[in-house]
Structure 1
Amino acid sequence: MPRFPKPAEGSWTEHYPHLGTGPVSYEDSVDPEFYEIERKAVFQRAWLNVGRVEQLPRKGSYFTKEMKVVNTSIIVVRTRDGEVKAYHNICRHRGNKLVWNDMPLEETSGVCRQFTCKYHAWRYDLDGNLTFVQQEGEFFDLDKSRYGLVPVHCEVWEGFIFVNFAKGDPEQSLRDFLGPMITDLEGYPFDKMTSRFHYRSEVKANWKLYMDAFQEFYHAPVLHANQSPTAYSKAAAEAGFEAPHYRIEGPHRLVSTSGIRAWEMADEMRKPIEDICQSGLFGPWDKPDLGEMPKGLNPAKCEPWGLDSFQLFPNFVILFWGQGWYLTYHYWPTSVNTHLFEGTVYFPQPRTPRERIAQELAAVSFKEYGLQDANTLEATQSMVESRVLDDFVLCDQEVLIRHLHNETAAWVEDYRSKTAGV
């Protein structure tokens, strides 16, 4: 799709006529039958981010990921050759989960030379080959070369590890799936952002409804009023805050907006903790020198630039902050009306205790924002399920919400057409 500047008159939505302007149904967020098809049509066909290479710092490093939306658990490992591979976390002997610690349903990580099943001690090397069978002579014509771990398609882009659960070859390579809007982010210093804060929460809402909350800023001056200076929130609400740039390309979306230099605000508009920690909503005040930024950032050329939120279909968000850090969001469905939300905040390694405290304040601030959004979305889910209303009106700022639900429906319809009669 072309890049459109915000016109002096008109709207963003008019540039994407296939999305329409009428009310939008949220039946896709409450219908159990749709959810079951969505799992196969979307999550077993799209590329899904499961982590970063920093989680695999050396040969033999591994982590597991519970993937309830596709009814499996996977092992992601760095092999002896340094390659990143992924396998279904299942032993070929009797189907036991291969890698787990005290609690079989919890994720784990570590370093090993091989994977050994807890049940009968079958062993597999880091490339997934079956290397040892306890009492091998008791089996009938066992060819170990046929019983390696079941692989999962795995590719890495800019340090982000993606998997794809297609039974055959994926319909697109990872790079083709990402497209130019995302690959234009290449060159961002992700590898320098190794100060990491992670949190997760079980949310009683459909995954798409929570993604919707981060695709517009129409709600920010209202829902998050207590997180910003009262005078600022009131002024923003009255003025009608709107992001200056939206973009849709293929299945992915972008919203970009200007920012606030907190230290330039009047003293009464700042919180005391922000002055003490030299940090706040937009992160630490001291911006690190990260070099030249990639061409894909700040497409509206905002000054000051606040953030770019890239929504990668289906369930992954990379959010870049103008102050020199980024965060990611994941929304992992666990049922039609529940999902696991994960937020991870990335900064450069702090050089002083003050820098560490500034990072922690920013990380805690965004945890609070996430809790506020989750609380609201649980209320939304409960009432959408009442089906008192069949559809809901959206404003121009909510064009990305239209796109997410439209794109999901398109993937489902494509899956139905390809599997009809199969």
Structure 2
Amino acid sequence: MMDTKSPLEKILSPAERRRSIAVDHQRRSVRLIRDGETDRSDGPMTNDPAVYVDADWARVERKAIFTEMPLLAGFGVDIPEAGDKLLFEATGVPILVVRAGDGRVNAFLNMCTHRAAKLVTECTRSKKMTCRFHAWTFDLEGMLTGMPAKESFAGIAKADRGLIRVPVVEWAGMIFVKPRPGDDEIDIEAFLADFAPEVAQLEFERMRLVKATRLEIDANWKYALDTYGEAYHFNSLHPSSIGSTHYTDRMCYDDFNPHHRIAYPYKHVGAYIGRSESEWPDEPFNAVHLLFPNVILNVWQIDAGPAYSIYRLFPGETPDKAFALTATYRPDTADPDVDDQPWIDLHDYIEEVVTTEDYSVSADGQRNLAHAPADFRVVYGSNEIAIQNFHRRLAAYIDAERAR
């Protein structure tokens, strides 16, 4: 088989690759700040508010996006040992992910095949799973191994009552599922395409969880997600937080259709204008990644070391409700003498900002859209290229689903 890796990918380690991208973002940021510019599209784009408020749109979206696309269920480091488990119920489908004895991950509907009771309620490490209703027991491959009073089930073969599989794949430290019954393979590298090496270099297999929370959002999931895709609002919405540390309306945008990566330049980068690159200090890798359709992977550098902030946004019961599953991880290679508190503080700080500023303004906008006239259209400026591309690509998936 032909080796399709570029020479750059063959030579550079993940750390070296991140460093190379950080240098590229640094150069581009200096030019954009110098020129008073940002990466942008050819012009503004309008969009029908139905994408945020319409129940039929939301119904089709659940099928096309939140049933048939690979979704990030968790990370391999969350279930490192055989018998470890995680529950993924964000789409409404109860999914159980387990680490098998040979190191693979399996995913099943979290449903006992006796009378559909919830099988696993607590994610303790064990090599068998016993239903609390009637004590039917299953192994890590989903096979039924224990059936009390089996004489009452004459003619029912245990081999036919295994757990119902769900498509799952573990790749580059990430666990993806399609939240529906099935045993089809997920070709995650085909889905990620050119974005695959950009994600792999983040080394998610070398981190550990510090804190996780769930945030309720009184807005459509896309309205909240849009807030991660532009710097136009930094000064006005975040004057004492990100607006005080980063340039407003300046960003480096890297497109990996349908995914993307954004670098928002810090204000100190402006001091490099007019200076030789040899005099520039090394800038750490900082970037916001959209893992289409609903995941923000934010890589920061804090004084204690790198930090990974993960935001997974999901639709709620109605188009005007959503929630975010947020998590902060630290590298497992960070100085073990540094406790978790700096990463906990970062998690709490970001949560305060997004809930009181981003998600708050999203809720206001969502309520207003419900009362907008029929001919009203939202508009995304050319400086909001990431949002434009996200909505175009999402609409293409919705159109394809409707055409079936």
TM over 0.5, yes or no? Answer: yes
Q: Which residue of 1 aligns with 2:139?
A: 125
- Mapped contact 1:259–1:305 kept (Cα < 8 A): no
Q: Do 1:259 and 1:307's aligned partners in 2 also have CA atoms closer than 8 Å?
A: no
Q: Are residue 321 (structure 1) and residue 344 (structure 2) matched?
A: no
1:362 Cα deviation from its structure 2 partner: 2.2
2:260 aligns to what? 253
| Partner SS for 2:250 | coil
The one of 140, 157, 165 aligned to 1:143: 157
User: 1:205-284, aligned counterparts within 5 Å?
Assistant: 205-227=219-241, 236=247, 240-243=248-251, 245-259=252-266
What is the one-letter code of the residue matched to 2:99? Answer: R
DSSP-derived class of the 1:23 partner:
strand
State the alpha-carbon separation in 1 of the partners of residues 281 and 230 from structure 2: 17
C-alpha separation in 2, matches of 1:162 and 1:64: 13
Aligned residues: 358
Q: CA deviation at 1:397?
A: 2.1
1:357 deviation in Å? 3.7
Q: Which residues of structure 1 form unaligned runs of 5+?
A: 15-19, 101-107, 265-300
Partner of 1:55: 78
Show CA shifts across 1:18-59 (max 9, x none). xx7332222111001111111111111110001111211211
Q: Deviation per CA, 1:119-177: give whole Å up to 9, x if none.
A: 22111111000112221122241111111000111111211111013655769611110
TM-score normalised per structure 2: 0.80
Q: Counterparts of 2:301 and 2:183 in 1: how far apart (Å)?
A: 38
Q: 1:337: how far off?
A: 1.5
* 2:298 paired with 1:308: no
Distance (Å, rounded) in 2 between the aligned partners of 1:392 and 1:302 = 41
Asked if 1:158 corresponds to 2:176, the answer is no
Amino acid at match of 1:328: I
Q: Write the distance in 1 (CA, Å) between the matches of 2:185 and 2:99.
A: 25
Question: Counterparts of 1:64-83 in structure 2 under 5 Å?
Answer: 64-67=87-90, 69=91, 71-83=92-104
Q: Does residue 377 of structure 2 align to residue 391 of structure 1? A: yes
**How far apart are the structure 2 equivalents of 1:224 and 1:27?**
28
After superposition, the Cα gap between the structure-2 partners of 1:163 and 1:131, relative to the gap in structure 1 and judged at 3 Å, is: same
Number of the residue aligned with 1:337: 320
Distance 1:10 1:329, change over 3 A: closer
The residue aligned with 2:386 is 400
Q: What's the counterpart of residue 10 of structure 2?
A: none
Deviations 1:42-97, CA, capped at 9 Å, x for gaps: 11111000111121121111121213x3x321111111112111100111111111
> What is the rounded CA distance, in whole Å, between the counterparts of 1:204 and 1:320 in structure 2?
26
Q: Please state how far the C-alpha of 1:380 moved relative to its aligned partner.
A: 1.2
How many angstroms apart in 2 are the aligned matches of 1:82 and 1:363? 30
* Offset from partner CA, 1:187-228 (integer Å, 9 cap, x none): 433333225221221111111111100011111122111225
Candidates 12, 37, 41, aligned match of 1:13: 41
Secondary structure of residue in 2 paired with 1:13: coil
Shift of 1:354: 6.0
Structure 2 distance, partners of 1:197, 1:82, is 25
Which letter does structure 2 place at the counterpart of 1:135? Answer: A
Report the Cα distance in structure 1 between the residues aligned to 2:120 and 2:365, rounded to whole angstroms: 38
Q: Would the alpha carbon gap of residues 355 and 61 (structure 1) be closer, same or farther in structure 2, given more than 3 Å must change? A: closer
8 Å contact from structure 1 (residues 318, 328) kept in 2: yes
Unmatched segments (≥5 aa) in structure 2: 1-23, 272-279
Change (3 A) 1:133 1:342: same
Q: Which residue of 1 aligns with 2:119?
A: 98
CA contact (8 A) 2:166 2:183 kept: no
Amino acid at match of 1:382: R
2:344 alignment counterpart: 360
Per the alignment, do residues 99 and 363 of structure 1 end up closer, same or farther by CA in structure 2, a change over 3 Å counting? same
Pick closer, same or farther for the CA change 1:11–1:58 going to 2, 3 Å. closer
Question: Taking structure 1 as reference, are residues 304 and 241 closer, same or farther at Cα in structure 2, changes over 3 Å only?
Answer: farther
Q: Deviations over 1:339-388 (max 9, x none)?
A: 12122112235647765443333222211222121111111111111123
Counterpart CA distance in 1 for 2:342 and 2:66 is 37
The verdict on how the C-alpha distance between 1:112 and 1:357 changes in structure 2, with shifts beyond 3 A counting, is closer
Contact 2:290–2:297 at 8 Å: present in 1 too? Answer: yes
Report the equivalent of 1:110: 124
2:175 partner SS: strand
Q: Using the alignment, how far apart are the partners of 1:79 and 1:353 within structure 2? A: 33
RMSD: 3.0
Identity %: 25
- Equivalents in 2 of 1:356, 1:150: separation in Å? 38
Say which SS state the counterpart of residue 199 (structure 2) adopts: coil
